Chain A
Amino acid sequence: MGNEEAVFFSRVLTELTLSFHIIYATIGVGIPLMIMIAQWVGIRKNDEHYILLARRWARGFVITVAVGVVTGTAIGLQLSLLWPNFMELAGNVIALPLFMETFAFFFEAIFLGIYLYTWDRFENQKKHLLLLIPVAIGASFSAVFITIVNAFMNAPQGFDLVNGELININPILAMFNPAMPTKVAHVVVTAYMTSAFVLASIAAFRLLKGSNHVYHKKALFLTLKLGLIFSIAAAIIGDFSGKYLAEYQPEKLAAAEWHFETEENASLIMYGILEDGEVKYAIEIPYALSVLAHGDPFAEVIGLDQFSEDEIPPLYIHYLFDLMVSIGMGLTFLSGLYVFATWRRWSFVQTKWFRWLLVAGGPLAMLAIEAGWWMAEVGRQPWILRGIMRTEDAATTSGQVDIMLVLFAGLYLILGVGSVVVLRRMFRKNPVEQEIEDRRKEQEGDFS
């Protein structure tokens, strides 16, 4: 196998691992916060339903955490196995957040174990709630630190490269690179948002499938309120991300927006297809790109004409960008409508078709996460370290990457199918009506 093939298969394997991992990782970052909120609401309102909600979410969460942990271990090692030259160079500058990420992960793992095995052990439920705080903090901070590593790859700083040697290294400066604030905020908030919509999907699905229990209605209303808050936050931060790109990574923004020529009063191109260098069927919104990039309708936006051919990312990222933004906007609208209509007691939100829309919300949010990551990652091609190291120079020289790709693809298939089957079985066998009944009997038993 030549080096070119090794680079190709390394890319595919990394993309496969990350695409699979972020499904579980996103859930892993968001769900602990949701559990914490449900538990807190339950204690405050003295409502058993919310406590039960937290408990059932926690039980399902363990399964997704397990897959998240093992695939996270996989990508952690693959960074060095598939991109040894990159890690050798970048490790000198960016090891600190990578190291801190494992601490956050450690912290979460310890308290998650304690939390899961101490239900009913404490007389005071508030003590049990306290255990969730380190779990949620650990989960969110893993995301923060690992996203800092990724932000560094987009905007490397904190060192000087003189004759191929790294000098004047400053690990703190490397962590607080320009890409970091928007990236970290966007990743964390969209993880919360996606988790809220995934949980809302489940509640809506149960309501559709015959259970009319008030438990599911409470779950749906709570998660969609949270979903609305986080999707608005995601949109605002998304706008900041656009402004960051215009300032520091104009080639990514230009490729995502099909902005070929540098101009003032730049218009935004939505949807459409690209054929032989010509954009067709697109919706053009005048001045919008200038607003997105600089907050000024007349500002100049740098186009792809400023970059040489071999430094331009693939133009298909435009479709990914559209997909992400459309889903984000759609979900904000959908959850806003639901919350407003519930508040005004409009009954159409309880119709079948509307509930099917809510069921679709979770998977769509996850699709938006994937599309967003693909756009962000493909958008920095051809660089692995923007402006410093090209991807093809970073890959392994080993000849066995293709076989490993097949093995890992098999692994993810098994894990994906396994987790879905187990989760379905867990909740099918023990519907909430049954569990409420069981707990009632248990408590009565205590008194006799």
Chain B
Amino acid sequence: MTLEIIGISVLWMFLFGYVIVASIDFGAGFFNAYNTLTRREHILTNIIQRYLSPVWEVTNVFLVFFFVGVIGFFPKTAFYYGTTLLVPASIAIILLALRGSYYAFATYGTNGHKGYTFMYGITGLFIPASLSTVLTISEGGFISMVKGNPVLDYWELFSSPLTWSIVVLSLVAVLYISAVFLTWYANKAGDHSATELLRKYALIWAIPTMITASGIIFELRGHNPEHYARILDLWWVFGISFLMFVGTVWLIWKRKNYGLAFGLLAAQFALAFFGYGVSHYPYLLYPYLTIYDSFTNEAMAIALIVAFIAGLGLLLPSLYLLLRLFLFNKDYVRGNKDNHA
């Protein structure tokens, strides 16, 4: 395995981590807002706040980790993506900033204001939409080189069906992942009405997730045939992923073993995510940038990998402690003891 592959695998792993934890967060915000609108907020608010409060900051770090890592391992991405993503990335940052800080303001500061709840729900859907444009752009066809500098063609981007399929997939996947996780969490808390409501959401969002995911593979056939061909080579990965999807839905339908259901969901997305990543190989930005010609020098790559391993040695036990204290602590999950500052 070359250093380039190690680098991109590490980063892809962290991006996957972000996709899962952020989806739970974004979806939770949306469900909370929706229930406030339909005057049922008492069912979900406690569950959602108890999960999010100690971990929201950690969620944010996953994203920072990913983009700092990309620049570190692949400095040339700064040149291509930095120049072209100014507008979509800035919008995502602004939404993230509003969302994150107002979450803290409302949770720790005062009793939540309704306007904030709606904003929290809505921004949570716009962020995945604006971030997912990066995936679309990486497929190529939207950036042209003018006088040696990359320029993004907004009209081409916004009129492409591929863009919209990816945006829709990111939205429904967020809602689906979040609903499955929260069903499990609510069930652990012994909160029956929240479990039932979230179970319903999980089943509702399962089908569109699958339809849009298949739709994208179809879109790619026209847009980037080379990529499409490599996806077909990996058909079995996506096949296993699909079986896991069926398993999750079946368990939730039968009201059985929500923990395993979430485990299957995580594995399903992991397979699809890595299958997509592997089929994208070796391009970071088709056709301008591959992981080989953008890779950093060897000295830096080794230093980064050493730092990464040392860092994980610190992080994994700490993360485990966090989960032990809040996710797998019965008293805390059930709200018997709050103990916040």
Contact = CB atoms under 8 A, between A and B. Distances in A.
A96 B68 CA distance: 10
Contacts of A407: 90-91, 94
A98 interface: yes
A396 interface: yes
Interface string A98-114: 11111101110111111
A350 interface: no
A442 to B, nearest CB: 13
Contacts of A419: 101, 105
Contacts of B84: 398
Interface in A340-390: none
B7 to A, nearest CB: 11
B48 interface: no
B89 A109 contact: no
Number of chain B interface residues as a range: 35 or more
Nearest to A120: B339
Contact of B54 (A103, A113, A414): A113
B78 A87 contact: yes
A110 B105 contact: no
A236 B73 CA distance: 38
Contacts of A272: none
A80 interface: yes
Interface residues of A, number: 79
A100 B53 CA distance: 25
A118 B84 CA distance: 44
A310 B308 CA distance: 41
A67 interface: yes
Contacts of B300: 92-93, 95-96, 169, 171
Given A55-B341, A96-B303, A102-B65, A84 B79 contact: yes
Interface of B: 53-55, 57-58, 60-61, 63-65, 67-69, 71-73, 75-87, 89-91, 93-94, 96-98, 100-105, 108-110, 149, 151, 296-297, 299-300, 303-304, 307-308, 311, 314-315, 318-319, 321-322, 325-326, 332, 337-341
Contacts of A88: 75-76, 78-79, 82
Nearest to B79: A88
B57 A92 contact: no
A118 B325 contact: yes
Given A63-B105, A63-B108, A99-B308, A70 B54 contact: no
A92 B65 contact: no
Contacts of B53: 113, 117
A119 B332 CA distance: 12
Contacts of B75: 87-92, 95
12 contacts: A67-B101, A71-B97, A79-B71, A87-B79, A103-B315, A110-B321, A121-B339, A134-B318, A411-B98, A422-B109, A422-B110, A426-B110
